[in-house]
Amino acid sequence: MTAAAVDARLAPFPRAPLMTGTTPVERLDRLSDLLDIDLWMKRDDLTGLSFGGNKTRQLEFYFGDALAQGADTVLITGAVQSNFVRAAAAAAARLGMRAILQLEERVPGMGDLYHSSGNVLLARILGAEHIRFPVGEDESGADAALHRRAEALRAEGRKPYVIHLGSDHSPLGALGYVAGGAELLGQIDDFDAAVVPSGSGSTHAGFLTGLRLAGYAAPVYGICVRRDADQQHRRIETVVTRLASLMEFDPARVLGGISLWDGALAPGYGRIGETTQEALTLMARSEGVFLDPVYTAKTFAGLLGLLRQGVIAKGQKVVLLHTGGQAALFAYQQELDALLNR
Q: Which residues are catalytic?
A: 82
Tell me phi and psi for residue 127, to 5 degrees: 90, 15
Q: Using CB atoms within 10 Å of the CB of residue 169, give its burial: 0 to 12 exposed, 13 to 18 middle, 19+ buried.
A: middle
- How far are the Cα atoms of 4, 128, 176, 178, 246 from residue 12, in angstroms, in the given order? 14, 30, 13, 14, 11
Chain centre to alpha carbon of residue 16: 18
Distance CA 48, CA 52 (A): 4
Q: What is the secondary structure of 205-216 as a DSSP string?
A: HHHHHHHHHTT-
- How far are the Cα atoms of 63, 97, 167, 238, 261 from residue 70, in angstroms, in the given order? 10, 11, 24, 29, 41
Q: Using CB atoms within 10 Å of the CB of residue 244, give its burial: 0 to 12 exposed, 13 to 18 middle, 19+ buried.
A: buried
Distance CA 113, CA 52 (A): 22
